[in-house]
Structure formats: structure tokens, C-alpha cells
Amino acid sequence: MKPHGSSDQTFSRDTGDLLILRQPDDWHVHLRDGGMLAFAADYTARQFARAIVMPNLDPPVTTTAAAEAYRTRILDVLPEGRRFTPLMTAYLTDDIDAEEIARGFSGGVLTACKLYPAGATTNSANGVTDVRKIWPVLERMHSIDMPLLVHGEVVSPDIDIFDREAVFLETVLAPVLEDFPGLRVVLEHITTDDSVQFVEAAGSNLAATITAHHLRIDRNAMFEGGLRPHAYCLPVAKRRRHREALRRAATSGNPKFFLGTDSAPHQKHEKESSCGCAGIFSAPTAIESYAQTFEEEDALDRLEAFASEFGPRFYGLPLNEGTVSLQRQPQNVPELMSDDHVRIVPFHAGETLRWRFNGRTDQR
Ligand code: NCD
Ligand code: ZN
Ligand code: ZN
């Protein structure tokens, strides 16, 4: 297979049964805290060199000191010798201190800020109630070139849940980009053709992450023979035609679209409940899931750029030097993953995947 981009920096090799990629990064992940952090973090750290760690803890990460302490807790639960860099984010609130954020960014602790519209998703009660309230913070971020990451959904109960992302583009994102034309923005976990087109049409300062699960499920997955809480995440999966648009965007080679799993573990009993939590735990087989999708789209040669090049280029970070390898070998995904404190149903539970993560390697 011909490596995509054919630069001498491209590591991608496919010998049929072995796929070698420059080590990827995850540009959107929830690692949680406490017992869940201890359970979940290494699934991300073993596959990805770096990850943008979401700040929606309870209470949320809103200061540089809190981000630093959280980073230490993450590194403390990883196995000895694991090379993994958590990239920390701050959670924007109506009254967040712009100076504090700027200090955290210039001091190298914070990589970006995350905008959660209040009430949009898990632990977003302290989020922003009206984006106009944080205009001075956005102004500051714009001036220091600090990226803004957005959960792109409006929360008004009048707006149908399947339209919340599209309405956000017009009512929130467009005005932000108009007033701050150079602000680097990542529209996280996009789920619609509307978002694909919006990102394509915008300047190079707007990019988007695409999850492994939104490339594979559409909204039928939530109702297949009954109510399926493990297919429920936010933004909710949309119609099949939107999933097809995401597949086209991810495999297009357009550097504005890159990997962000949005792996979001919740306890089994908290998903299988009368008011189940939103979130899909995809970290254990993240890269295998993307590989399967790219292979189905006949675009395995574009996986490396999507997973390992476009993200760091957007964030202005160096590409990773190491590699990972995947073996073409059937992998049965367990129905349940657990330890003494945690029980989780992972993405792809009970399915057989075509690829298996083989670990890191120095081979080029
Ligand atoms: C995420 C979570 O559980 O923290 N859930 C989800 O469905 N994606 C929050 C988020 O990214 O919106
Ligand atoms: Zn989100
Ligand atoms: Zn998320």
C-alpha cells in the first residue's frame, strides 16, 4: 500500500497482516477521577502518546492548580514506565477568570479551554449559560492563540435533540468565529453532515474531532430490538446519511478532521437506568475500531494522517516519533470489563473486531 502523503515522515506501512502507524494521539477523552480513573486511564495511555483530557469532573477543572493536580493524579495511576502526556484543559464557566486561564496557558499547564453549554451533557451544570458572558475570555484566548474546544449543542428544550448540533452552528459558533476570526476552535465529536460542511467551509482555524462510534452507529443503534443505553452518547447519533458524511470527512485526507474518541466511561448500572448517562467507553479498542472503519472505506492508507498527523499540526505540537502496530487478527471484545470498583460495558461489547492492537514498536 502506498503511504498517504508520501513524505519521508510517513511511517504508515501495511504488509497485509501488520499495520504500522506513527503513534496516534486522542484529541478528546474523558479519563474521570478516583476509581474510574484508575480503571480507565491506561486503556488510553497504552494506545495514544498524548490526549486532550476533558475537564468535566465534579467539580469541574476551572483553575490551573486544579488542572495540574489532575494531571498528577492521571500520571500516578499509570503503570511504571508508561510514556503518556495528558494535555490539560480548563472548563469555562460564566465567571471564569481570563487572567488565570492565560497564565495556565503561558505556563504550559493548560493546552485549551472547553466550552460546555450549561446542561448540554455529563457534568455540565456549571457550564456557560450564554456564550456572550464569556466574550472577554474568548477575546483573551484569541489574543494569546489559545484553542477553544466546544461541545456543539444548544440546550433549549424547544429544540429537537436531533437538531441541537445544527442549531449551535448558526446561533453560537458562527457569531464566535465572526467576532474572533483567528480563534482556533475545535468542534468536538461532530455528528452531522451540517457540521462537516460548516467545518469545510470555514477558515483553517476551525477543525473537528470525529469519534470511533459516530463512524459506526446511527440513531437506529439506540433502538435495535429495544432500548440500548450503551449506544447512547451526546451528541446522539443521527441518521445514517450523517454517519456516511462523517465517514467521508474522516477518510478524505482533509486535515481539518482528526481523531478524538470521546471515550466516556460510565458504570453499567448508571447507563442501564431509568435516566441513563450519556457516554460510550471506546478506549480499550479505539484504534482497532477506527482501523476497521477506514478499511471498510478502502482508506487504511489515510488512517495515519487522521490519527497521528492532523491533530498535532492543528495544535502546533510535534508529531510523535514512536510507532504502534496492529495485527490483522480477530479480537473478541468482552461483554463486560470490571475490577473491584468498576463494571463497564465497552463499545463493541460482544463483537469481533478485525484488528488487534499489538503494542508500540520502534520499527519504521
Ligand atoms: C461525555 C461524558 O460522559 O463526560 N458524554 C458523552 O456522551 N459524550 C460528555 C461529552 O463529551 O459531551
Ligand atoms: Zn461533549
Ligand atoms: Zn466528550
pLDDT tens-place string over residues 103-137: 999 999 999 999 999 999 999 999 999 999 999 99
Domain extent listing, the chain: 25-310
For the chain, how far is it from start to end, CA to CA, in angstroms?
Answer: 15
In residues, how long is the chain?
Answer: 364
Residue ranges near ligand 2 (ion) with Cβ within 5 Å: 121, 151
Mean pLDDT along residues 167-172: 98
**Residue 262 annotated among the catalytic residues of the structure:** yes
**For residue 12, what pLDDT is reported?**
76
For residue 40, the SS3 value is helix
Q: Quick check: 265 pLDDT over 50? A: yes
Ligand 1 contacts (CB < 6 A) are 30, 56, 121-122, 151, 233-234, 262, 264, 278-279
Dump the DSSP string for 116-149.
-BTTSSTT-TTSBS-GGGGHHHHHHHHHHT--EE
Atom 5, ligand 1: residue with shortest CA distance: 279
Cell of 74: 492521571
Q: Kindly compute the dihedral angle of the four CA atoms of residues 311, 261, 164, 208, in this order, to the nearest 10 degrees.
A: 10
> Which option is the CATH number for 25-310: 1.10.1840.10, 3.40.50.720, 3.20.20.140, 3.40.50.300?
3.20.20.140
Whole-angstrom Cα distance, residue 312 to residue 330?
Answer: 31
pLDDT for 5 beyond 80: no
How sure is the predictor about 15, in pLDDT bands with cuts at 50, 70 and 90?
Answer: confident
> For 308, how many CA atoms within 13 A lie in the half-sphere containing its CB?
27
Count of other CB atoms within 10 angstroms of residue 5: 14
Lowest mean pLDDT among 13-22, 44-53, 83-92: 13-22
Nearest-atom number in ligand 1 for the CA of 116 is 12
Cα 290 to Cα 34: distance, rounded to the nearest angstrom? 28
Question: Has residue 324 got a pLDDT over 90?
Answer: yes
Q: Tell which atom from ligand 1 comes closest to the C-alpha of 120.
A: 12
What torsion, rounded to 10 degrees, do the Cα atoms 280, 270, 49, 349 define? -50
